[in-house]
Amino acid sequence: MSNLVIIFLSIGLFFNFAGCLGLIRFPDIYNRLQASTKCVTLGTIFILLAVVIHFGWNSISLKAILCVVFILLTSPTAAHAIARGSHRAGFPLWEGSIMDRYREDQEGETESAN
């Protein structure tokens, strides 16, 4: 493995680790989603880029690049679905939260009624 591959793998692992630690340390589901979507997305992308560099230009790299695109599209979408679903299912925000405009608007119901 070249040095560049090891550097990319290390960056990926560092951000994945930060994401997992955030999943444990942050107080409520919304903050945990923030940590897990952002860090795990970039961490996994760096690991896939390490795969691309290691294998050079062939079908494995092409699949890795397609996976990067899929992760970029699906990860924020899934986070949005989980956050919206949890809020509608009644999971509260952490008690230290500043405001919740989503609850004030009854999850958008008042908005669409206008």
Gap between the Cα atoms of 52 and 70, Å rounded: 16
SS3 37: helix
Would you count residue 30 as binding other proteins (CB under 8 A)? Answer: yes
Of 5, 6, 43, nearest to 22 by C-alpha is 43
By CB under 8 A, name the one of 5, 13, 18, 53 that touches other proteins. 18
How many Å from the N-terminal Cα to the C-terminal Cα in the chain? 60
- Residues interacting with other proteins, by CB under 8 A? 14-15, 18-19, 21-22, 25-26, 28, 30-31, 33-35, 37-39, 41-43, 59, 62-63, 66, 72-73, 75-77, 79-80, 83-84, 87, 93-94, 96-103, 105, 107-108, 111-112
